[in-house]
Amino acid sequence: MKKLIIALSISIVVFASCREQKTETKEVIREVRVETTDDTPEAPEREGILERTAKEVDNEVNKEINEEIDKIGDDN
């Protein structure tokens, strides 16, 4: 009787562990369209301090260059 119970329990364990388990996975990808505008007051905040400083320096240099060109005048 013991042998029958042991053999039965072993066969149940073997068949239960060998059966193929099917699991389904479903991947959902959603595409979302986002519209952004750079007209917001926060737009300059996105730039770093180096970029803002570089723009200011460029503007000053351009003004100085324009002044020097005006001083030289038009030779035509």
Residue 62 has pLDDT above 70, yes or no: yes
Buried-exposed string 29-53: b where 16+ CB fall within 10 A, e elsewhere: eeeeeeeeeeeeeeeeeeeeeeeee
User: What are 53-62's contacts with CB under 8 Å, separation 24+?
Assistant: none
In sequence order, the 6+-apart residues with CB closer than 8 A to the CB of 52 are: 44
Tens of pLDDT, residue by residue over 8-18, are: 888 887 776 65
End-to-end CA distance of the chain: 120
Query: Is 0.75 topped by the overall pTM?
Result: no
Return the residue matching tokens 């750079």.
38
